Amino acid sequence: MSHRMSHPHGASFENIDQQAPSSVESITADTSPHMALVIKSETSRHVAEENQNQTYKCETSKRPTRSEYLELYPAALEGNWDKAKRVVEEYPEAIRDSITETRDVLHIAFASKHTSFVKEVVRFLTDEDLERINVNGDTALCFAAKLGTVKIAKEMVKKNNRLPLIRSSEERSPLHIAAKLGSRDMTSYLCDVTPFEGLSPDERIEILMATITNDMYDIALKILEKDATLGTKKDKKTIAALRELAKKPLVIGGKSRLSLWERCFNFG
């Protein structure tokens, strides 16, 4: 005699198992192909919306408020890194954003010539950030060349040694800019760190001419030592400039050094 446990309503567990499919099977059996696609589509949409919401929350949480931007402006003007540090550490992108119509934190600090502040700002910037051209057509180093702030220029070149060959929107290298402005210390420094092979022949001549025109004869001689072919140019401007240089033996280091260049130039 078979002993089988029965459901109170008279159906055996075996019969119930056979009659009632699992919940998953029920859903599968009761769901048409069209409905399955709808469910899948709705699920994907909800997941995408959730991801988008999370991304939006993440992005908006990283943007400083207007008042926090306003904190950066006086901090950059004053060179007050402690005041700027809180905003910059919480919102690193703020260091790259313009906080006036034409200038970002770095350029404002440049103009105020706060070397220690700029040094801190540069730590937060990438090489690519330093290579960017601002709305006025200057890279960070071109701007420093205009201001003549050598210490600041050194900090940037230390981080990115490609900067001396990245030109402004006027197609002038930082060295060319400094020489044109007659900024002696900046021109001397940039002359040392600028790979002359990266300058065009015309730009080399223009830089040489600018150093002579602005009475930077020692730097002019340094340029000629880097590229002696400049002394063989036959155009009138170059010859006139070299003759002017030849009249300054006391400035450029004595007659013995000058006579070497006179023989090289073959115009003495």
- Asked whether residue 262 is assigned to any structural domain, the reply reads yes
Task: Give the pLDDT band (50/70/90) at residue 33.
Answer: low
- Asked whether residue 212 is assigned to any structural domain, the reply reads yes
Domain membership of residue 218 as a residue range: 195-268
> Residue 194: which of 141, 121, 257, 230 has the closest Cα?
141
- Asked whether residue 241 is assigned to any structural domain, the reply reads yes
Per-residue pLDDT, 54: 47
Domain count, the chain: 1
- Asked whether residue 236 is assigned to any structural domain, the reply reads yes
- Asked whether residue 53 is assigned to any structural domain, the reply reads no
- Asked whether residue 64 is assigned to any structural domain, the reply reads no
Task: Give the pLDDT band (50/70/90) at residue 186.
Answer: very high
Per-residue pLDDT, 45: 53
- Asked whether residue 216 is assigned to any structural domain, the reply reads yes
- Asked whether residue 32 is assigned to any structural domain, the reply reads no
**pLDDT tens figures, 38-65:** 444 554 554 455 555 444 444 444 666 7
Check residues 109 and 17 and name the one with the higher pLDDT. Answer: 109
Q: How far apart are CA 155 and CA 111, in angstroms?
A: 15
**pLDDT tens figures, 85-141:** 988 888 888 888 765 656 778 888 888 888 889 889 888 889 998 998 888 888 989
